[in-house]
Amino acid sequence: MEVQIISKQNVRPSSPTPPHLRNFKLSLLDQLIPVPYAPILLYYPMNDSSGASNLDVLKRLQVLKKSLSETLTHFYPLAGKIKDDQLSIDCDDEGACYVEAQVNCHLSEFLRQPDLLVAHQFFPCELLPKAVTHVANFQVNVFECGGVAIGICISHLALDGAALSTFLKAWSAIAKGSKEAIIYPEFIPTSLFPANDLWLRDSAVVMFGSLFKKGNGITKRFVFDASAISSLRARAVGVECPTRVEVVSSFLWKCFMAASEEWRGCRRPSILTHLVNLRRKNGTEVGREFHGKFPVIKGDKRNSMAEQTLREIGEFGSRDGVDFLGFSSWCRLGFYDADFGWGKPVWISSLATSGSPTMNLVILADTRCDGVEAFVSLNEKEMAILEGNPELLRFASLNPSPLDIDKSVQCT
């Protein structure tokens, strides 16, 4: 499979950003994620049995670009540049990086045997760059059949998963002309931990550095269908009606600990962390359209609590003989609702990597049929043990075709 870049440009906001919004200050919490991007791919078939004409494809590309420009007016930090100090975004309206590319195969060919090591070509930038310049990067990949894969890399400094969902809903609604359905973002400058708390930022960097191990990592995709999740849920003890995410996370953690024990020859202490959407947990009137962090704990009490927590986690994680597994969930964020006017995506994926410097990380995502996909990054030796675990393979499939997961999908 070959991907040929056809064009590359900056897409600017359709209206200029007001001068008083030029400097967008970042929260400390925006800087804690150990990787600069959470890459996501959305795959759309042509949905036309008569085949794709060049006119149809060109029209879709024009709609995507024009609607992105309008959307950036409301999500103005995405059209800016991250300042050298990593503490703020210069909302200079320079624009988002926008690439159009041609793929020399049909979308169905790729989806029948998805190779996410190859799919890195669908993204517009390096996923582990030395420096992040553009806040937002997009690549629209057109297959021979007229199907499209949209690769998105938006800096974690600007958007988390929930905020990315809000952005995609706004972009797709504008593309369809359904502006009445748009929930516009509210960028609130106050933060739980201001980014100018340098001592706290440094402590957090040390903590995450001790947890996310460095080395030669590899990513594999495991899919749990609804039936498997029901079976795992029935085995749960001590939790009434656990969620899909809780069930899959705990089961994968168990399998991860078993792989570590087999590889190392002994059972080691293990830490599990889960990123949490505080918009649903904070107990205040903060909706899904909120972007930024909010004040919950203030002053010296906030600093002392944060410092103590970071120190304790960092000290424990930095000990020899301690394993760590971090989870981030895209479930229930509504990525499958991103309809630009030609139907919803047939598949949403993250990226599989080989030789990744960051390991011990799991991204969970919905399937179209109430299942959960897990993109698991581990040390190569642990992964070899994990993917051969018969108990894991009893409940999960290793890299199945998205076309087999949902038989209703028609993709040529």
User: In whole angstroms, what separates CA 335 from the centre of its chain?
Assistant: 10
What is the largest distance, in Å, between two alpha-carbon atoms of the chain? 66
CA distance 64 to 61: 5
Q: Given 56, 90, 339, 406, which residue is catalytic?
A: 339
Q: Is the dihedral of CA 330, 334, 340, 345 positive or negative?
A: positive
CA distance 31 to 156: 7
Q: Given 74, 106, 120, 156, which residue is catalytic?
A: 156
CA distance 223 to 361: 16
State which amino acid sits at residue 21.
L
What b/e sequence results for 306-344 when a residue is b if at least 16 CB atoms lie within 10 Å of its CB, and e otherwise? beeebeebbeebeeeeebbbbbbbbbebebbebbbebeb
CA distance 268 to 284: 39
20 classed as catalytic: no
First to last CA, the chain: 16
State which amino acid sits at residue 165.
S
Q: Is the dihedral of CA 307, 308, 309, 314 positive or negative?
A: positive
Residue 262 has phi, psi (to 5 degrees) of -65, -40
Q: What residues are annotated to the active site?
A: 156, 339
